[in-house]
Protein backbone atom coordinates (compact mmCIF):
# COMPACT_ATOMS: atom_id res chain seq x y z
CA UNK A 1 0.00 0.00 0.00
CA UNK A 2 1.32 3.45 -0.81
CA UNK A 3 1.98 5.62 2.22
CA UNK A 4 -0.55 8.21 1.10
CA UNK A 5 -3.35 5.63 1.28
CA UNK A 6 -2.29 4.17 4.65
CA UNK A 7 -5.12 4.74 7.18
CA UNK A 8 -2.75 4.31 10.19
CA UNK A 9 -0.47 7.05 8.85
CA UNK A 10 -3.52 9.22 8.14
CA UNK A 11 -4.66 8.75 11.75
CA UNK A 12 -1.21 9.83 13.01
CA UNK A 13 -1.35 12.81 10.65
CA UNK A 14 -4.78 13.78 11.97
CA UNK A 15 -3.40 13.89 15.52
CA UNK A 16 -0.53 16.12 14.39
CA UNK A 17 -3.02 18.34 12.54
CA UNK A 18 -5.12 18.66 15.70
CA UNK A 19 -2.04 19.47 17.79
CA UNK A 20 -1.00 22.25 15.39
CA UNK A 21 -4.55 23.62 15.13
CA UNK A 22 -4.69 24.03 18.91
CA UNK A 23 -1.70 26.38 18.59
CA UNK A 24 -2.80 28.36 15.53
CA UNK A 25 -5.71 30.36 16.91
CA UNK A 26 -4.89 33.48 14.87
CA UNK A 27 -5.49 31.57 11.63
CA UNK A 28 -8.38 29.50 12.98
CA UNK A 29 -10.30 32.52 14.35
CA UNK A 30 -9.70 34.59 11.22
CA UNK A 31 -10.82 31.73 8.98
CA UNK A 32 -13.88 30.93 11.10
CA UNK A 33 -15.54 34.11 9.86
CA UNK A 34 -15.42 32.68 6.34
CA UNK A 35 -16.64 29.22 7.26
CA UNK A 36 -20.28 30.21 7.71
CA UNK A 37 -20.29 32.53 4.71
CA UNK A 38 -18.45 29.94 2.58
CA UNK A 39 -16.42 32.78 1.10
CA UNK A 40 -14.37 30.42 -1.06
CA UNK A 41 -17.28 28.23 -2.21
CA UNK A 42 -16.36 26.54 -5.48
CA UNK A 43 -12.92 28.17 -5.74
CA UNK A 44 -10.28 25.72 -6.93
CA UNK A 45 -7.02 26.40 -5.15
CA UNK A 46 -3.67 24.97 -6.26
CA UNK A 47 -1.18 24.82 -3.41
CA UNK A 48 2.59 24.31 -3.37
CA UNK A 49 3.69 24.36 0.27
CA UNK A 50 5.80 22.21 2.57
CA UNK A 51 3.51 19.39 3.69
CA UNK A 52 3.60 19.96 7.44
CA UNK A 53 1.10 19.85 10.27
CA UNK A 54 0.88 23.66 10.07
CA UNK A 55 0.08 23.52 6.35
CA UNK A 56 -2.68 21.01 7.07
CA UNK A 57 -4.34 23.64 9.29
CA UNK A 58 -4.28 26.16 6.43
CA UNK A 59 -5.71 23.55 4.03
CA UNK A 60 -8.44 22.66 6.54
CA UNK A 61 -9.33 26.37 6.83
CA UNK A 62 -9.56 26.75 3.04
CA UNK A 63 -11.77 23.66 2.76
CA UNK A 64 -14.04 24.87 5.58
CA UNK A 65 -14.46 28.14 3.67
CA UNK A 66 -15.69 26.13 0.67
CA UNK A 67 -12.54 25.77 -1.48
CA UNK A 68 -11.51 22.67 -3.39
CA UNK A 69 -7.78 22.14 -2.79
CA UNK A 70 -5.10 20.51 -4.99
CA UNK A 71 -1.69 20.30 -3.36
CA UNK A 72 1.93 19.43 -4.14
CA UNK A 73 5.05 19.80 -1.97
CA UNK A 74 7.38 22.81 -2.06
CA UNK A 75 10.48 20.64 -1.59
CA UNK A 76 11.26 17.00 -2.52
CA UNK A 77 12.45 16.16 1.02
CA UNK A 78 10.20 18.19 3.33
CA UNK A 79 6.93 16.23 3.16
CA UNK A 80 5.64 14.67 6.37
CA UNK A 81 4.07 11.48 5.05
CA UNK A 82 1.58 11.24 7.92
CA UNK A 83 0.25 14.69 7.05
CA UNK A 84 0.17 13.82 3.33
CA UNK A 85 -1.87 10.70 4.18
CA UNK A 86 -4.25 12.76 6.33
CA UNK A 87 -4.63 15.44 3.64
CA UNK A 88 -5.41 12.72 1.09
CA UNK A 89 -8.61 12.11 3.08
CA UNK A 90 -9.58 15.79 2.72
CA UNK A 91 -8.33 17.03 -0.68
CA UNK A 92 -6.31 16.13 -3.79
CA UNK A 93 -2.60 15.66 -3.08
CA UNK A 94 0.54 14.63 -4.94
CA UNK A 95 3.45 14.53 -2.46
CA UNK A 96 5.71 12.15 -0.59
CA UNK A 97 9.04 12.40 1.22
CA UNK A 98 11.98 11.60 -1.02
CA UNK A 99 10.65 12.73 -4.39
CA UNK A 100 13.23 12.90 -7.18
CA UNK A 101 13.58 16.22 -9.03
CA UNK A 102 11.44 14.70 -11.79
CA UNK A 103 8.76 13.50 -9.35
CA UNK A 104 8.76 16.93 -7.75
CA UNK A 105 8.01 18.69 -11.03
CA UNK A 106 5.50 16.04 -12.05
CA UNK A 107 3.55 16.57 -8.79
CA UNK A 108 3.39 20.34 -9.33
CA UNK A 109 2.28 19.77 -12.91
CA UNK A 110 -0.57 17.53 -11.73
CA UNK A 111 -1.95 20.42 -9.69
CA UNK A 112 -1.75 22.90 -12.58
CA UNK A 113 -3.44 20.53 -15.01
CA UNK A 114 -6.42 20.41 -12.63
CA UNK A 115 -6.99 24.06 -13.62
CA UNK A 116 -6.86 25.85 -10.27
CA UNK A 117 -8.44 29.33 -10.12
CA UNK A 118 -5.81 30.51 -7.65
CA UNK A 119 -2.37 29.42 -6.50
CA UNK A 120 -0.75 29.53 -3.06
CA UNK A 121 3.00 29.05 -3.49
CA UNK A 122 6.23 28.78 -1.47
CA UNK A 123 9.32 29.53 -3.56
CA UNK A 124 7.42 30.29 -6.83
CA UNK A 125 7.98 26.92 -8.55
CA UNK A 126 4.22 26.52 -9.10
CA UNK A 127 3.80 30.08 -10.35
CA UNK A 128 6.74 29.64 -12.71
CA UNK A 129 5.38 26.36 -14.05
CA UNK A 130 1.88 27.84 -14.44
CA UNK A 131 3.44 30.55 -16.63
CA UNK A 132 5.45 28.00 -18.61
CA UNK A 133 2.21 26.08 -19.19
CA UNK A 134 0.44 29.29 -20.20
CA UNK A 135 -2.21 28.58 -17.55
CA UNK A 136 -4.64 31.32 -18.64
CA UNK A 137 -7.27 30.05 -16.25
CA UNK A 138 -5.35 31.19 -13.15
CA UNK A 139 -6.96 34.33 -11.66
CA UNK A 140 -4.26 35.17 -9.15
CA UNK A 141 -2.23 33.87 -6.27
CA UNK A 142 0.07 34.41 -3.32
CA UNK A 143 3.75 33.82 -2.54
CA UNK A 144 5.16 32.83 0.85
CA UNK A 145 8.93 33.36 0.68
CA UNK A 146 11.66 35.94 0.12
CA UNK A 147 13.15 33.77 -2.64
CA UNK A 148 9.80 33.41 -4.38
CA UNK A 149 9.14 37.15 -4.25
CA UNK A 150 12.59 37.85 -5.76
CA UNK A 151 11.85 35.45 -8.65
CA UNK A 152 8.39 36.90 -9.25
CA UNK A 153 9.71 40.47 -9.09
CA UNK A 154 12.17 39.49 -11.83
CA UNK A 155 9.32 38.05 -13.95
CA UNK A 156 7.31 41.21 -13.34
CA UNK A 157 10.29 43.31 -14.45
CA UNK A 158 10.40 41.38 -17.72
CA UNK A 159 6.65 41.93 -18.19
CA UNK A 160 6.00 38.18 -17.89
CA UNK A 161 3.50 37.99 -15.02
CA UNK A 162 0.10 36.83 -16.24
CA UNK A 163 -1.95 37.42 -13.08
CA UNK A 164 -1.91 39.34 -9.76
CA UNK A 165 0.15 37.82 -6.93
CA UNK A 166 0.18 38.99 -3.32
CA UNK A 167 3.66 38.90 -1.76
CA UNK A 168 2.69 37.41 1.60
CA UNK A 169 6.36 37.30 2.56
CA UNK A 170 6.50 41.10 2.63
CA UNK A 171 3.82 41.46 5.30
CA UNK A 172 5.35 42.59 8.61
CA UNK A 173 3.31 39.94 10.41
CA UNK A 174 5.12 37.40 8.21
CA UNK A 175 8.77 38.25 7.73
CA UNK A 176 9.45 39.82 11.13
CA UNK A 177 8.36 36.65 12.89
CA UNK A 178 8.38 33.65 10.53
CA UNK A 179 11.70 34.46 8.86
CA UNK A 180 13.45 35.45 12.09
CA UNK A 181 12.00 33.48 15.02
CA UNK A 182 10.49 30.63 13.00
CA UNK A 183 13.65 29.84 11.06
CA UNK A 184 15.81 30.76 14.05
CA UNK A 185 14.29 28.05 16.22
CA UNK A 186 13.60 25.42 13.56
CA UNK A 187 17.09 25.61 12.02
CA UNK A 188 18.70 25.00 15.40
CA UNK A 189 16.12 22.25 15.93
CA UNK A 190 17.11 20.62 12.60
CA UNK A 191 20.83 20.77 13.39
CA UNK A 192 20.29 19.28 16.83
CA UNK A 193 17.95 16.50 15.64
CA UNK A 194 20.37 15.56 12.85
CA UNK A 195 23.60 15.65 14.86
CA UNK A 196 22.59 15.38 18.53
CA UNK A 197 25.75 17.42 19.33
CA UNK A 198 26.41 20.26 21.76
CA UNK A 199 26.17 23.85 20.49
CA UNK A 200 27.74 25.47 23.55
CA UNK A 201 31.35 26.41 22.92
CA UNK A 202 31.14 25.78 19.16
CA UNK A 203 32.20 28.30 16.50
CA UNK A 204 28.97 28.79 14.58
CA UNK A 205 29.22 30.58 11.23
CA UNK A 206 26.04 32.15 9.79
CA UNK A 207 26.34 33.13 6.14
CA UNK A 208 23.75 35.84 5.41
CA UNK A 209 22.37 38.30 7.94
CA UNK A 210 18.88 38.96 6.58
CA UNK A 211 15.90 38.21 8.82
CA UNK A 212 16.59 34.48 8.62
CA UNK A 213 20.30 34.83 9.41
CA UNK A 214 19.52 37.20 12.28
CA UNK A 215 17.15 34.66 13.82
CA UNK A 216 19.62 31.80 13.50
CA UNK A 217 22.48 33.88 14.93
CA UNK A 218 20.59 34.97 18.05
CA UNK A 219 19.30 31.48 18.76
CA UNK A 220 22.77 29.92 18.26
CA UNK A 221 24.21 32.46 20.69
CA UNK A 222 21.38 31.64 23.10
CA UNK A 223 22.58 28.03 23.10
CA UNK A 224 26.11 29.11 23.99
CA UNK A 225 27.78 29.09 20.57
CA UNK A 226 30.33 31.73 19.46
CA UNK A 227 28.69 33.26 16.42
CA UNK A 228 30.48 34.48 13.27
CA UNK A 229 28.57 36.32 10.54
CA UNK A 230 29.39 36.61 6.83
CA UNK A 231 27.49 39.37 5.03
CA UNK A 232 28.15 41.50 1.91
CA UNK A 233 25.61 44.25 2.71
CA UNK A 234 27.27 47.11 4.66
CA UNK A 235 24.28 47.99 6.86
CA UNK A 236 23.51 44.39 7.74
CA UNK A 237 27.21 43.77 8.47
CA UNK A 238 27.21 46.78 10.84
CA UNK A 239 24.07 45.47 12.53
CA UNK A 240 25.76 42.12 13.10
CA UNK A 241 28.89 43.81 14.44
CA UNK A 242 26.97 45.97 16.94
CA UNK A 243 24.93 42.94 17.95
CA UNK A 244 28.24 41.55 19.18
CA UNK A 245 28.94 38.95 16.48
CA UNK A 246 32.31 38.48 14.73
CA UNK A 247 31.85 39.73 11.16
CA UNK A 248 34.15 38.80 8.28
CA UNK A 249 34.65 36.80 5.13
CA UNK A 250 33.89 33.15 4.57
CA UNK A 251 37.46 32.65 3.31
CA UNK A 252 38.67 33.55 6.82
CA UNK A 253 35.94 31.87 8.86
CA UNK A 254 36.16 28.62 6.85
CA UNK A 255 39.15 27.58 9.01
CA UNK A 256 37.50 28.60 12.28
CA UNK A 257 33.96 27.24 12.05
CA UNK A 258 32.65 24.06 13.63
CA UNK A 259 29.16 24.54 12.19
CA UNK A 260 28.22 26.54 9.07
CA UNK A 261 24.68 27.59 8.15
CA UNK A 262 23.79 29.37 4.91
CA UNK A 263 20.80 31.73 4.77
CA UNK A 264 21.41 34.02 1.82
CA UNK A 265 19.03 33.18 -1.05
CA UNK A 266 22.22 33.23 -3.15
CA UNK A 267 24.09 30.40 -4.85
CA UNK A 268 27.60 29.12 -4.15
CA UNK A 269 28.23 31.03 -0.92
CA UNK A 270 30.17 28.07 0.49
CA UNK A 271 32.36 26.70 -2.29
CA UNK A 272 34.82 23.84 -2.55
CA UNK A 273 37.78 26.20 -2.02
CA UNK A 274 36.26 26.99 1.43
CA UNK A 275 35.47 23.36 2.23
CA UNK A 276 39.11 22.36 1.64
CA UNK A 277 40.17 24.72 4.41
CA UNK A 278 37.61 23.55 6.94
CA UNK A 279 38.45 21.67 10.11
CA UNK A 280 38.14 17.92 10.13
CA UNK A 281 34.58 17.28 11.37
CA UNK A 282 33.06 20.59 10.25
CA UNK A 283 29.29 20.51 9.81
CA UNK A 284 27.45 22.30 6.97
CA UNK A 285 23.74 23.06 6.75
CA UNK A 286 21.50 25.26 4.66
CA UNK A 287 18.43 27.23 5.73
CA UNK A 288 17.81 29.01 2.40
CA UNK A 289 14.99 27.98 0.06
CA UNK A 290 17.08 26.24 -2.64
CA UNK A 291 19.89 23.68 -2.28
CA UNK A 292 22.36 25.84 -4.22
CA UNK A 293 23.91 27.85 -1.38
CA UNK A 294 26.48 25.17 -0.52
CA UNK A 295 28.19 23.89 -3.67
CA UNK A 296 27.31 20.24 -3.10
CA UNK A 297 27.73 19.40 -6.78
CA UNK A 298 31.47 20.15 -6.75
CA UNK A 299 31.80 18.49 -3.35
CA UNK A 300 30.19 15.35 -4.79
CA UNK A 301 32.60 15.33 -7.69
CA UNK A 302 35.75 15.90 -5.58
CA UNK A 303 35.05 13.75 -2.51
CA UNK A 304 37.07 10.57 -2.11
CA UNK A 305 34.26 8.85 -0.30
CA UNK A 306 30.65 9.70 0.61
CA UNK A 307 28.51 7.83 3.10
CA UNK A 308 25.47 8.42 5.27
CA UNK A 309 26.57 8.24 8.89
CA UNK A 310 23.22 9.10 10.47
CA UNK A 311 19.81 10.05 9.14
CA UNK A 312 20.23 13.43 7.41
CA UNK A 313 24.03 13.43 7.95
CA UNK A 314 26.31 12.71 4.99
CA UNK A 315 30.06 12.32 5.52
CA UNK A 316 32.37 13.57 2.74
CA UNK A 317 35.98 12.47 2.81
CA UNK A 318 38.04 15.06 0.94
CA UNK A 319 41.23 14.31 -1.04
CA UNK A 320 43.18 16.09 1.76
CA UNK A 321 41.95 13.38 4.17
CA UNK A 322 39.61 15.64 6.17
CA UNK A 323 35.98 14.69 6.69
CA UNK A 324 33.17 17.21 6.56
CA UNK A 325 29.48 16.59 7.20
CA UNK A 326 26.53 17.93 5.20
CA UNK A 327 23.08 17.92 6.78
CA UNK A 328 19.84 17.26 4.89
CA UNK A 329 21.73 17.11 1.54
CA UNK A 330 22.02 20.88 1.63
CA UNK A 331 18.26 21.34 1.49
CA UNK A 332 16.22 23.33 4.04
CA UNK A 333 17.56 21.76 7.23
CA UNK A 334 14.68 23.04 9.38
CA UNK A 335 12.09 21.19 7.29
CA UNK A 336 14.06 18.09 6.30
CA UNK A 337 15.68 17.30 9.66
CA UNK A 338 13.01 18.93 11.84
CA UNK A 339 9.36 19.94 11.42
CA UNK A 340 9.74 23.50 10.11
CA UNK A 341 8.58 26.58 11.97
CA UNK A 342 6.42 26.01 15.04
CA UNK A 343 2.65 26.49 14.76
CA UNK A 344 2.58 29.65 16.90
CA UNK A 345 4.67 31.38 14.22
CA UNK A 346 2.99 29.78 11.20
CA UNK A 347 -0.41 30.96 12.47
CA UNK A 348 0.60 34.48 11.39
CA UNK A 349 2.13 33.53 8.04
CA UNK A 350 -0.85 31.37 7.16
CA UNK A 351 -3.41 33.88 8.43
CA UNK A 352 -1.83 36.19 5.82
CA UNK A 353 -1.99 33.44 3.20
CA UNK A 354 -5.64 32.76 3.98
CA UNK A 355 -6.67 36.43 4.04
CA UNK A 356 -4.70 37.22 0.86
CA UNK A 357 -6.35 34.24 -0.89
CA UNK A 358 -9.79 35.55 0.09
CA UNK A 359 -8.74 39.02 -1.09
CA UNK A 360 -7.71 37.72 -4.52
CA UNK A 361 -10.92 35.73 -4.80
CA UNK A 362 -12.98 38.89 -4.12
CA UNK A 363 -10.89 41.33 -6.15
CA UNK A 364 -9.09 39.54 -8.99
CA UNK A 365 -11.40 41.04 -11.64
CA UNK A 366 -10.15 44.55 -10.91
CA UNK A 367 -6.49 43.66 -10.24
CA UNK A 368 -3.92 43.90 -13.01
CA UNK A 369 -1.15 41.32 -13.44
CA UNK A 370 1.68 42.20 -11.05
CA UNK A 371 3.04 41.81 -7.53
CA UNK A 372 1.02 43.31 -4.66
CA UNK A 373 1.65 43.87 -0.97
CA UNK A 374 -0.72 42.35 1.56
CA UNK A 375 -3.41 45.04 1.94
CA UNK A 376 -2.96 47.23 5.04
CA UNK A 377 -6.39 46.22 6.36
CA UNK A 378 -5.46 42.55 6.12
CA UNK A 379 -2.15 43.18 7.95
CA UNK A 380 -4.04 44.90 10.78
CA UNK A 381 -6.54 42.06 10.96
CA UNK A 382 -3.76 39.45 11.18
CA UNK A 383 -1.87 41.44 13.85
CA UNK A 384 -5.05 41.75 15.95
CA UNK A 385 -5.76 38.02 15.59
CA UNK A 386 -2.17 37.16 16.58
CA UNK A 387 -2.21 39.45 19.63
CA UNK A 388 -5.44 37.84 20.76
CA UNK A 389 -4.00 34.35 20.13
CA UNK A 390 -0.94 35.19 22.23
CA UNK A 391 -3.21 36.68 24.94
CA UNK A 392 -1.53 40.09 24.72
CA UNK A 393 -3.38 43.27 25.71
CA UNK A 394 -2.15 46.47 24.11
CA UNK A 395 -1.63 49.54 26.25
CA UNK A 396 -4.12 52.34 25.50
CA UNK A 397 -2.93 55.90 25.03
CA UNK A 398 -4.81 58.61 26.91
CA UNK A 399 -6.48 61.40 24.92
CA UNK A 400 -3.75 63.74 26.20
CA UNK A 401 -1.02 61.41 24.95
CA UNK A 402 -2.62 61.14 21.51
CA UNK A 403 -2.65 64.93 21.37
CA UNK A 404 0.98 65.09 22.59
CA UNK A 405 2.09 62.63 19.89
CA UNK A 406 0.99 65.13 17.24
CA UNK A 407 2.20 68.31 18.94
CA UNK A 408 5.48 70.27 18.87
CA UNK A 409 5.03 71.52 22.45
CA UNK A 410 6.63 69.64 25.35
For CA atoms 317, 270, 268, 190, give the dihedral sign: positive
Instruction: Judge whether 260 and 285 are in contact, CB under 8 Å.
Output: yes
Decide whether 39 or 80 has the Cβ nearer to ligand ADE.
Answer: 80
Please say which residue, 205 or 335, places its beta carbon nearer to ligand ADE.
335
Contact 343, 23 (CB under 8 A): yes
Residues in contact with ligand ADE, counted by CB under 6 A, come to a total of: 10
What's the min distance (Å) between Cβ of 301 and ligand ADE? Answer: 31
Binding residue for ligand ADE, selected from 25, 54, 314, 344, defined by CB under 6 A: 54
295 scored as a contact of ligand ADE (CB under 6 A): no
Q: Is 55 in the site for ligand ADE (CB under 6 A)?
A: yes
Per-residue string for binding with ligand ADE, 227-266, x by CB under 6 A?
----------------------------------------
Q: Smallest distance from the beta carbon of 49 to ligand ADE, in angstroms? A: 5
Residue range at the interface with ligand ADE (CB under 6 A); choices 59-67, 162-170, 207-215, 340-348: 340-348
Residue from 341, 361, 374, 389 in contact with ligand ADE (CB under 6 A): 341
Q: For residue 375, which phi and psi values (nearest 5 degrees)?
A: -55, 145
Residue 314 sits at φ, ψ, to 5 deg, of: -105, 130
The residue ranges of DSSP E strands in 96-198, in sequence order, are: 118-121, 140-143, 164-167
Q: CB–CB of 247/240 below 8 Å?
A: yes
- CB nearer ligand ADE, residue 148 or residue 257: 148
Give the DSSP H or E segment for 132. Answer: helix 125-132
Listing DSSP states for 219-266 in one string gives HHHHTTPEEEEE-SSHHHHHHHHHTT-EE--HHHHTTT-SEEEE-SS-
Piece in contact with ligand ADE (CB under 6 A), picked from 1-9, 48-56, 232-240, 245-253: 48-56
Q: Residue 274, interface with ligand ADE (CB under 6 A)?
A: no
CA distance 108 to 105: 5
The reply on whether position 346 binds ligand ADE by CB under 6 A is yes
By CB under 6 A, name the one of 50, 139, 174, 289 that touches ligand ADE: 50
Please, what is the minimum distance in Å from the beta carbon of residue 334 to ligand ADE? 6
Whole-number minimum distance, CB 226 to ligand ADE, in Å?
27
Residues linked to residue 118 through DSSP beta bridges, in sequence order: 45, 140
Contact letters for ligand ADE, residues 3-42 (x by CB under 6 A): ----------------------------------------
Would you say 88 or 135 has its CB closer to ligand ADE?
88
Stretch touching ligand ADE by CB under 6 A, among 44-52, 99-107, 135-143, 200-208:
44-52
Q: Which residue is nearest to ligand ADE (CB)?
A: 340
Q: Crossing angle for the helix pair 343-363 and 25-37, nearest 10 degrees?
A: 30
Q: How far is CA 189 from CA 39, 58, 128, 199, 336, in A?
A: 37, 23, 31, 11, 11
Q: Closest Cα to residue 292, out of 70, 93, 101, 12? A: 101
CB burial of 18-30 (b: ≥16 within 10 Å; e: otherwise) equals eebbebbbbbbbb
Between 117 and 144, whose beta carbon lies closer to ligand ADE? 144
C-alpha closest to that of 348 among 64, 79, 63, 58: 58
Taking phi over 0 as left and psi of -120 to 50 as alpha, with beta for the rest, 281 belongs to left
The verdict on 62 binding ligand ADE (CB under 6 A) reads no
Interface region with ligand ADE, contact rule CB under 6 A, candidates 47-55, 81-89, 166-174, 263-271: 47-55
CB of 182 to ligand ADE, least distance (A): 6
49-57, 202-210, 239-247, 299-307 -> range binding ligand ADE (CB under 6 A): 49-57
Which residues are at the interface with ligand ADE (CB under 6 A)? Answer: 49-50, 52, 54-55, 182, 335, 340-341, 346
Amino acid sequence: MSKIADPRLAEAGKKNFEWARKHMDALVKLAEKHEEKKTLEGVRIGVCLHITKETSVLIDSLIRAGAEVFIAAANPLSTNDDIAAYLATRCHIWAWRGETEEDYKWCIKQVITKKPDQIIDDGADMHVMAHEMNAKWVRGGTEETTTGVVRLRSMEGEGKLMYPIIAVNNAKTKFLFDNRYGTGQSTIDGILRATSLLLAGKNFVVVGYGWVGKGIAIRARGMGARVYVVEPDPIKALEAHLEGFHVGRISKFAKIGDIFVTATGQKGVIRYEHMERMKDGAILANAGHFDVEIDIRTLNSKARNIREVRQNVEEYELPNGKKIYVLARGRVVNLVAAEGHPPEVMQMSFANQFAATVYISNNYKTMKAGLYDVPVKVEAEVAAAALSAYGIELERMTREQKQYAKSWKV
